[in-house]
Amino acid sequence: MSPEHRSEHAHPGTGTYLAVAAVLLIITIVEVGVFYVPAFKPVLAPVLLTLSAVKFGLVVMFYMHLRFDHALFRLIFTLPLLLALGVSIALMFLFGAFGLGH
Amino acid sequence: MTHAAAHYTSTGLDNKKLAFWAFIGSECLLFGSLISTYLVYKGRSVSGPTPHEILNIPVTSVSTFDLLMSSLAMVLALAAVSRGDKLWARFWLGTTAFLGLVFLGFQYYEFTSFVREGLTIRTNLFGSTFFTLTGTHGAHVAVGVLLLLTLLVRSFQGKLGPEKAINVEVTGLYWHFVDVVWIVIFTVVYLLQ
Amino acid sequence: MVVYSGALIGFMGWGVWAHHMFASGLGPIADSVFGATTMMIAIPTGVKIFNWLATMWGGQVRFTTAMLFAMGFIAMFVIGGLSGVMHSSPPADLQQTDTYFVVAHIHYVLFGGAIQGLFAGIYYWFPKMTGRLLNEKLGKLHFWLMFIGMNLAFFPMHFIGLLGMPRRIYTYRPELGVETMNLISTIGAHVIAVALLFFIYNVWRSWRRGEVAGNDPWGGAMLEWTIPSPPPDYNFTVIPEVVSRLPRWSVTHMKAIPEVPPQPIHVPGGSYWPLVAALGIIGMATGAVAHTLWIVLASGAVLIFSIYRWAFEPFEV
Per-residue pLDDT of chain C (317 residues; tens, 9 = 90+): 889 999 999 988 878 888 888 888 878 888 888 899 999 999 999 999 999 999 999 988 999 999 999 999 999 999 999 998 898 888 888 888 899 999 999 999 999 999 999 999 999 999 999 999 999 999 999 999 999 999 999 999 999 999 989 998 888 888 888 899 999 999 999 999 999 999 999 999 999 999 998 888 998 888 888 888 899 888 888 888 777 788 877 766 566 777 788 888 877 777 899 999 999 999 999 999 999 999 999 999 999 999 999 988 876 54
Same domain for A35 and A55: yes
Q: Is residue A3 part of a domain?
A: no
**Looking at the complex, does the CB of residue A100 fall below 8 Å from at least one CB of chain C?**
yes
Q: Is residue A6 part of a domain?
A: no
Same domain for A59 and A74: no
Answer whether B13 sits within 8 Å of A14, measured CB to CB. Answer: no
Running DSSP on this structure, what letter comes out for residue A38?
A: G
**Chain A residues with beta carbon closer than 8 angstroms to that of C29:** 93-94, 96, 100-101
Rounded CA-CA distance B137/B142 in Å is 9
Same domain for A46 and A31: yes
Rounded CA-CA distance B15/B7 in Å is 9
Under an 8 Å CB criterion, which residues of B touch C? 1-3, 146, 150
Q: Give the burial class of B177: count Cβ atoms within 10 A of its Cβ; 0-12 exposed, 13-18 middle, 19 or more buried.
A: buried
* CATH code of the domain made up of C2-209: 1.20.210.10
Rounded CA-CA distance B184/A52 in Å is 6
**Looking at the complex, does the CB of residue C14 fall below 8 Å from at least one CB of chain B?**
no
User: In B, residues 71-100, which contact A (CB 8 Å cutoff)?
Assistant: 71-72, 74-76, 78-79, 82
**Chain A residues with beta carbon closer than 8 angstroms to that of B68:** 21, 24-25, 28
When the pLDDT of each residue in chain B is averaged and rounded to a whole number, the result is 91
Do the beta carbons of residue C30 and residue A94 sit within 8 Å?
A: yes
Q: Which one of B9, B10, B13 would you mutate to disrupt binding with A, by most A Cβ within 10 Å of its Cβ?
A: B13
Q: What would the mean pLDDT of B51-80 be, rounded to a whole number? A: 93
Same domain for A82 and A43: no
Do the beta carbons of residue A77 and residue A65 sit within 8 Å?
A: no
Domain holding A95, by residue range, is: 70-102
Answer whether C29 sits within 8 Å of A87, measured CB to CB. Answer: no
Do the beta carbons of residue B121 and residue B132 sit within 8 Å?
A: yes
Q: Which of B18, B138, B173, B33 is nearest to A59 (CA)?
A: B173
**Looking at the complex, does the CB of residue C304 fall below 8 Å from at least one CB of chain B?**
yes
Subunits close to C (at least 3 CB pairs below 8 A) = A, B
What dihedral angle (degrees, nearest 10) is formed by the CA atoms of C68, C73, C74, C75? 90
Q: Is residue A99 part of a domain?
A: yes
Report the complex ipTM.
Answer: 0.85
**Domains delineated in chain B:** 15-191 (1.20.120.80)
Q: Which one of B41, B68, B190 would you mutate to disrupt binding with A, by most A Cβ within 10 Å of its Cβ?
A: B68
Answer whether C308 sits within 8 Å of B1, measured CB to CB. Answer: no
Write the CB contacts of C97 (distance below 8 Å, at least 6 apart in sequence).
C22, C23
Rounded CA-CA distance C315/C317 in Å is 6
Same domain for A79 and A57: no
Q: How far is A49 from chain B (nearest CA, A)?
A: 7
The number of domains in chain A is 2
Same domain for A53 and A24: yes
Q: How far is CA C27 from CA A100, A102, C35, C37, C85, in A?
A: 10, 7, 12, 16, 20
**Chain B residues with beta carbon closer than 8 angstroms to that of A35:** 57, 191
Q: How far is A13 from chain C (nearest CA, A)?
A: 31
Q: Is residue A57 part of a domain?
A: yes
Does the pLDDT at position B6 exceed 80? no
Q: Look at C11 and B26; give whichever has higher pLDDT.
A: B26
**Chain C residues with beta carbon closer than 8 angstroms to that of A87:** 14
Residue C166, strand partner residues: C99
**Chain A residues with beta carbon closer than 8 angstroms to that of B192:** 44-45, 48-49
Does the pLDDT at position A37 exceed 90? no
Running DSSP on this structure, what letter comes out for residue B48?
A: S
**Chain A residues with beta carbon closer than 8 angstroms to that of C33:** 90, 94
Write the CB contacts of C270 (distance below 8 Å, at least 6 apart in sequence).
none
Rounded CA-CA distance B69/B62 in Å is 11
Same domain for A92 and A57: no
The HSE-up count of residue B84 (CA atoms within 13 Å, CB side) is: 2
What dihedral angle (degrees, nearest 10) is formed by the CA atoms of B166, A55, A77, A2? -20
Q: Is residue A4 part of a domain?
A: no
Answer whether C27 sits within 8 Å of A87, measured CB to CB. Answer: no
